[in-house]
Structure 1
Amino acid sequence: MRQSLPSALARLTRVARPRSRSGARPHVIYLAIGFPPAAKSSAYRLRETANQFAALDWDVTVVTICEEAWEREYGLDHSLSAGVDPRIRVVELPLARKDLETDIRNFSEARSLRPREWIEQQRKRDLTVFPEPVFGGWRFALEKAVLRIHREHPADLLVASCAPYVNLAPTWRLWEEHRVPYVVDFRDGWSLDVITGEAAFPEKSPAGRWEKKVLEQAGAIWCVNDPIARFYQERYPSVADRVRVVRNGFDEDGVPTVEHRVDPEAGLTFGYLGSINFSPVLLDEVLTGWRMARRDDPLIARSTFEVRGHIGAGALREANAHMELLRAAEPDGVVFGGPVAKADVAGTYARWDALVLMLVGGAYVTSGKVYEYAASGLPVMSAHEVDHDAARVLAGHPLWTGAVGLEPVRLAESFREAGKLAVGATEADRAAARAHAHRYTRGAQLRPAVRAATELAAAPNPSTEAVATGGGRS
């Protein structure tokens, strides 16, 4: 049920069902910017989290931003919305990234004449409201929305999914004024640069002070993998026992279930599915490895490499260095097919014979797609650093070629190995690959965490003595 803020609030009702502290059916406000139909990789996790609360008979109010905002960015995928529990209320706020506006008729004179300076000034204004560029300026609109929702239909719990980290501002405001317990779903973490593994900002910086005070009062802090969780446990020892690993996982309707048949004489189809948010350098290394494999291996030479997903946002959507590389590789059997709707994911995997897992980062990055890849029953070749958390997920997978780094010559070897696995794999091998990934179903990952979060609403209000106040409304 997708509504604007006024209409959503007008229709909120209570029904006599399982009780919260207030005696009514428990109500969770879920700050989930990127909720379906936003074509964002985070949308799967957001949808499943909301669905899990609804399955436990909670009233769920999702707060996100308007569809027009997503049309500016990666776009919309309405097939994602089909899997949202119909009892969930979705409140859309009229917020959007001004920097992604492409209609020059909406540009100010300053932006038209000095676009770079305009962006810089916009970033500075955002940071004066909340210490996060691009999204910081949304703080007061989010606070106002959350307080109004709570006033009309009191919340027993708030869950804030980050990024954007400005979601922490309304989380704190509701805690300050009404002591509503909350969970922070950090996913990748704020003060951690998951690419470098270094701290993104000092503890005494504005962002550091915000993070510290919000985490100190959080009922639970969710992270997507063990390295990120350890980072937060070490950075904030006082909350270490509240830090929990809640992996992304895969949706069972997103993997093929039909018997896979390979025609080596016609050639194989290698596939990549996911947002292309890694550097052009990484893509170039993979394409170079692909060309080397085609030169030396007759099977790969008559095969194709299909790349699917979102490339760029706003004015740079499919108009960037990545696209130039892909177009240049077309004579080498490389095809770019654009994004894939959620409803078509399983069918896309069913057409492919082997998967190419291109990922940025290292030990602190997992990626949501690795679970889907692992569960597909197809051979998986890795194109990422050797010390990568995705390698921990794939360890023991019977159809994985292993992590060999990003040197083209090593990647060429992996392409050849994946081709051999695709031709030689039996249905028993594919079944073993699916079984390896079974523990990573998205529901299995989120269900225990959501159940534990619901217990916060039934607990007595925490002591207010330790509440940090510095910078709360500055």
Structure 2
Amino acid sequence: MSKPHLLYIAFAFPPSTASSVYRCTAVANAFAEDGWDVTVLTLDRNIWSEISGVDQKLADSVDPRIRVVQVDDGGSEEPARGDLRRFSRLRIEAPYLWKEVARRRGRKDFPEDFHGAWLAPASAAARSIHAEKPVDLVMASAGPYVSFGVARCLEGVPYIMDYRDAWAFNTFSEASKYTPDSKQGRFEAEYLCNAAQVWFVNGPIRDEYARRYPDAADKMRVVENGFDPQPGHGQPPPRQTTTPTFGYLGTLLYERMPTQEFLDGWRQASTGEGSSGKLHAVFRGKMSSSGAASAEVLRAFADVEAFGLRHLGPISKRDVAKFYNRLDALVLLLPSGKYVTGGKTAEYLATGLPIVSVHDLGIAATYQLKDYPLWFPAKDLTPESIAAALQACADALAHPDSAAWQAAWEYGQQFARSAILAPVISDLRRLVGHPLQQPVAEVQRSPKP
């Protein structure tokens, strides 16, 4: 029996280090592992070295059975590219006018600033792929949302829309970008109603979309982010220490995350009378989405070096398990907003290490964390509460509970991405007429709101 052919549209794919690549890599790998022919349509890899950085080790983790087709950006990334040799005279002499022209050009064929320019070259590539080997299913991961437009270009081929965020509203501020009855809302509704399935990363985003677009609600499902075991992943033994090392790994969105609040709390925990001992912390990851850091951010971290906290820059995705293995506990910094889960939450839980949460407890991530046996949440974002959470974790490390550590490990392993994706991919096999002999059981998850 022939294999089903998946065309997976992922604007960012390894070696890109954009935040979306981990989910995209895992989904493509999962389909390949399930026996699909997988073709990934993505942006030309050379562009990523200019706008966000590259990770060759992550590229090496892509299943070798996957065919990757790279496409020119069509000009969509020009505003983010800093090569002065590419600058036109208009961009040099009238940068604001140039940017507005580029924005309008991007929206000419698809209603998305700048990124709409990718529709034409990516759609042409998709049709070529389909002509060479007929596609059974298209999956588009967004943002940018132009990926959804590319998914629609193969007439008669079912498509899946994977929302890693929300197009209709801001997941941080919760403010609407447009209403369902607006021109943009009607455009999105038409895409949703014609999709075979619509994926969301958590229940709150899915529920809000179902409220806005009830005609498409039956197509919507939650496919959460999970963790992808990296070399060295394994159960940690209970660690007894009075000089714990805390760690943070991820892109630091300084203005969206309670970063300064944490640094203030860290300083207080390191000098307060309630401290269990000398505290240390290591932060790894980019200091912004682009990797650039403002003077304010650099100064904020320089000010806490004397208190045992250092920021040492990014590491490869393939080295994360080694990083976690050197730590005693983790710090989870997340933006506010009830729709926020955070891509790192599941990965943190899977380590089995104590987690100190520094975020608004009303966000979606709390529903994943609340039953974790080694969870130490700050009650609020005051320095006193953050320091208290750090000190509570340090106290627990001074007197570790072996049963709690075992329970934490077992709890975290339920978030393996393979377990989350297996039943979903099984459903899609049936959709395209290639069912498995044995049905895949739904993974049991903790309750969601």
TM-score w.r.t. structure 2 length?
A: 0.90
Equivalent residue number for residue 10 of structure 1: none
What's the offset of the Cα at 1:351? 1.0
The residue type equivalent to 2:202 in the other structure is: N
Deviation for aligned residue 1:373: 1.1
Q: Are positions 1:141 and 2:121 aligned together?
A: yes
Give the C-alpha shift of residue 298 in structure 1: 6.7
1:163 aligns with 2:116: no
Q: Per the alignment, in what secondary structure is the counterpart of residue 17 of structure 2?
A: coil
Partners of 2:128 and 2:348 in 1: CA distance:
42
Between the aligned partners of 2:40 and 2:237, the Cα distance in structure 1 is 39
Q: Which of 201, 225, 232 is the matching residue for 2:209?
A: 232
| Structure 2 residue identity aligned to 1:60 | V
Q: Where in structure 2 are the equivalents of 1:116-265 lying within 5 Å?
A: 116-174=96-154, 178-253=155-230, 255-259=233-237, 261-264=239-242
The one-character-per-residue Cα deviations of 1:433-456 (angstroms, maximum 9, x if unpaired) are: 111122111111111112212222
- Check the 8 A contact 2:257/2:333 in 1, yes or no: no
2:305 counterpart of 1:330: yes
Aligned AA (1:232): Y
Q: Does the CA contact (< 8 Å) of 1:260 and 1:350 recur in 2?
A: no
Alignment partner for residue 29 of structure 2, among 51, 65, 71? 51
Residue identity in the other structure for 1:243: M
User: 1:393 corresponds to which residue?
Assistant: 368
1:259-301, Cα deviation, whole Å (9 max, x unpaired): 354442xx22111111112416721111011111112147466
The one-letter code matched in structure 1 to 2:422 is R
Q: Do the aligned partners of 1:66 and 1:94 also contact (CA within 8 Å) in 2?
A: yes
Contact kept, 8 Å, 1:269 with 1:353, in 2: the verdict is yes
SS at match of 2:153: helix
2:279 counterpart of 1:279: no
Alignment identity in percent? 36
Counterpart position of 1:377: 352
Q: What secondary structure sits across from 1:31 in the alignment?
A: strand
Match for residue 464 of structure 1?
none
Cα distance in 2 between the residues matched to 1:362 and 1:124? 30
Q: Would the aligned equivalents of 2:369 and 2:375 in 1 still touch at CA under 8 Å?
A: yes
Following superposition, the deviation at residue 392 of structure 1 comes to: 0.6
* Contact kept in structure 1, 2:378 and 2:388, CA below 8 Å: no
- 1:52-131 equivalence runs, <5 A: 52-95=30-73, 97-131=77-111
Residue 129 of structure 2: SS of its match in structure 1? Answer: helix
Matches within 5 A, 1:442-461: 442-458=417-433
Structure 1 residue 129 displacement after superposition: 3.0
Aligned-pair Cα RMSD in Å:
2.1
Cα distance change, pair 47–365 in 1 and its aligned pair in 2 (3 A) = same
2:4 to 21, 26, 37: 26
Deviations 1:94-134 (A, max 9, x none): 22611222221221222223334433332232223322123
Residue 212 of structure 1: CA displacement?
0.9
The aligned counterpart of 1:6 is none
Higher helix share: 1
User: Per-residue deviation at 1:256?
Assistant: 4.3
User: Which whole-Å CA distance do the structure 2 matches of 1:310 and 1:88 have between them?
Assistant: 28
* 1:268 equivalent in alignment to 2:248: no
The size of the alignment, in residue pairs, is 431
Residues 131 and 206, structure 1, Cα contact 8 Å, conserved in 2: no
Matched residue type, 1:80 = L
**Where does 1:391-470 land on structure 2 (aligned, <5 Å)?**
391-458=366-433
Residues 276 and 311, structure 1, Cα contact 8 Å, conserved in 2 = yes
Partner AA of 1:406 in structure 2 = L
| Contact 1:297 1:416 (C-alpha < 8 Å) held by counterparts | no
Unaligned runs of at least 5 residues, structure 2: 435-449
Q: Is the 8 A contact 1:401 1:414 kept in 2?
A: yes
How far has the Cα of 1:370 moved from its partner?
A: 0.7
Distance in 2, Cα, partners of 1:46 & 1:280: 24
Structure 1 window deviating more from structure 2 (101-110 vs 29-38): it is: 101-110
1:14 matched to which residue of 2?
none
Aligned mates of 1:399, 1:281 — CA distance in 2: 22
What amino acid maps onto 2:228 in structure 1? D
How many angstroms does 1:407 deviate by?
1.9
Aligned mates of 1:323, 1:246 — CA distance in 2 = 36
Q: Which amino acid aligns with 1:153?
A: K
How much does 1:191 deviate?
1.0
1:350 aligns with 2:325: yes
1:468 is aligned to none
Q: Deviations over 1:237-261 (max 9, x none)?
A: 1221211100011123374434354
Output the CA distance in 1 between the equivalents of 2:44 and 2:296.
29
Cα distance, 1:375–1:424 mapped onto 2, change above 3 Å: farther
Distance 1:300 1:275 in 2: 29
